[in-house]
Amino acid sequence: MAAAAEEEGRAPTKYVLITGGVVSGLGKGVTASSVGVVLKSCGLRVTCIKIDPYLNTDAGTMSPFEHGEVFVLDDGGEVDLDLGNYERFLDVTLTRENNITTGKIYQSVIEKERKGDYLGKTVQVVPHVTDEIKQWIQSVSSVPVDGQTRPADVCVIELGGTVGDIESMPFIEALRQLSFSLGKDNFCLIHVSLVPVLGVVGEQKTKPTQHSVRELRALGLTPDLLACRSAQPLIGSAKEKLSQFCHVPVENILNIHDVPNIWHVPLILRNQKAHEAIIKQLNLSRSAGPPELRDWTLMAESYDNLSTSVKIALVGKYTNLSDSYLSVVKALLHASVACSQKPSIQWVSASDLEDAAAASAPDAHAKAWETLKGSSCILIPGGFGDRGISGMILAAKYARENKVPYLGICLGMQISVIEMSRHVLGLGNADSEEFNTDTSGRVVMYMPEVSKTHMGNTMRLGCRRTFFRKPDCLTSKLYGNPPHVDERHRHRYEVNPSFVPMLENAGLQFVGCDESGNRMEIVELQDHPFYIGVQFHPEFKSRPRKPSPPFTGLILAATEHMRTLTNVSNGDAGASE
């Protein structure tokens, strides 16, 4: 086990590199996370690095439609959504340094050049950029992410994009050099590739994977294992062909076929003895034991066996791409499974709820309202910009007036404040400074310390402490009645303190605030079964076996609301009979 290795003198950190071929979107992030889960179940300590070849220094300014959600870490790092997969699967706390981008690397190299660190040499991709990449990887891999003091046994590295992309070339070269310098016992390469089935022929085609591996080998990297993505399990002849033409032993060809839920992926890897192949390659047999995945298996199977579902109306701006709300979706999954419910997310585009849509797109408008009214709860997640805001306000109003369980996250909390101000306080001009800079009813305002000229990494970011102003409030009970909670934030705007007394008199209670007492963090509506808004993003700290309390509360309230409606309906039916 790992403890024995520590007593004998700690071995150097080993590396598992995950690359992808043929097409993007194959699930390298889930594969990397699952490899980490299996290795961790063998008693090894695991950390992760995600390499993104884009020139942005981080994901903070990227469109949710293009790149999915921006995941926020404890230290305020705005990173790729795959780091969220790593944290959820491995239950670790990563840092912004665990996400390497081309922008970060070049920025560091240029800063060194400006300081004169290269002693007048011509600065080039090789060796300066590649050396920077190697140094960054080895430095980050030595930082513990599981609360212990010594470095991890294994660092799983995911290289974003597809092998052959021009953006990835410096990283491929750096990783080639790293594998050579570390030696075979310290470096394992898993190549994720697609094995498609042509509709007409019905045969599993290995040629795309063969070409992908050939290109990888031409760049100086040889895969030790293949992880083949396919709709159905690979047949024996396909494995043999891949082994022959890709120079990978048959037993090292893994098949990650489609499964009911992604929690099955670590189990697939375990069943195919992926851990044995990796441990053998990395010479870790003394430190590793047999995989212990009993709890994980129970979790995966419990989801498959759920029979009742809860309808959740997710009212958002970016509903055309579910990855835009990936952590919200996962948090709903974690909470639902904990409540023995299967989540049924009803995607509602906020723009379709607006009055203007009734004229421009009547069918979409009618369908959106039908979906909203047919759901057991309503969730409005974070977002930026004024598109769809009127629809969100109408959704919050519907939840308030009809006693439908409601959870507003970040923007969703601010929406509840604007809605109450307009429709209860009678402030028709109530708005956020984000949407209307000239309004006198500025119930949501720009935070004074935030930059108005730069967009990247200028928000209130990362883990911040929220204190409960009213210890007996519902949100405090959901968290177990602590004096405060630590949750991750990502926002530029806050509730205007000047309007707080008026709103509280109207029934919207501000039950949580920051350490100053002026920045409002949590709101609850009186005389409502469940109406909560939080300025932070609780979804970022949700874990499969540790669901986020606000999400758990929402699902419990939705289940009770659904039960009440059913009883009322049955009672009406009985009366009519």
Q: According to the model, what pLDDT value does residue 571 have?
A: 64
CA torsion 494-549-400-441 (nearest 10°) is: 0
Q: Which residues pair with 407 in a beta bridge?
A: 379, 532
Residue 149 pLDDT: 87
Q: Architecture of domain 11-54+125-301 in CATH?
A: 3-Layer(aba) Sandwich (3.40)
Query: Residues 367-422: pLDDT tens digits?
Result: 999 999 999 999 999 998 889 999 999 999 999 999 999 999 999 999 999 999 99
Of the listed 191, 264, 537, 561, which one is catalytic? 537
pLDDT digits (tens, 9 = 90+) for 449-504: 766 655 556 789 999 999 999 889 999 999 999 999 999 999 999 999 999 999 99
Nearest to 73 by CA among 467, 451, 490: 490
Q: For the chain, what is the mean pLDDT? A: 92
Catalytic residue among 69, 87, 434, 539, which? 539
**Residue ranges, the chain, pLDDT below 50:** 1-8, 573-577
Active site residue 410: yes
Q: Tens digit of pLDDT for each residue in 322-350?
A: 899 999 999 999 999 999 999 999 999 99
In three-state form (DSSP H/G/I as H, E/B as E, the rest C), the secondary structure along 209-271 is HHHHHHHHHHCCCCCCEEEEEECCCCCHHHHHHHHHHHCCCHHHEEEEECCCCHHHHHHHHHH
Extract the tokens encoding 325: 């709300």
- For the chain, domain boundaries: 11-54+125-301, 306-564
Predicted pLDDT of residue 7: 43
Distance, CA of 113 to CA of 514 (rounded, Å): 42
Strand partners, 444: 432, 495
CA 320 vs CA 77, 382, 424: distances in Å: 26, 15, 33
Catalytic choice (246, 410, 473, 513): 410
- The one-letter amino acid code at 56 reads N
User: What per-residue confidence (pLDDT) applies to 9?
Assistant: 53
Q: What is the pTM of this model?
A: 0.92
What 3-state class would DSSP assign to 543?
strand
- Provide the 3-class DSSP secondary structure of residue 115: helix
For 306-564, which CATH class?
A: alpha beta
| Number of helices and strands in the chain (H, E) | 20, 21
**67 an active-site residue?**
no
Token pair 């709101």: residue: 523
Q: Judge whether 11-54+125-301 and 306-564 match in fold.
A: yes
Share of the chain above pLDDT 90, in %: 81
Q: Say whether 191 is catalytic.
A: no
* Residue 457, pLDDT score: 62
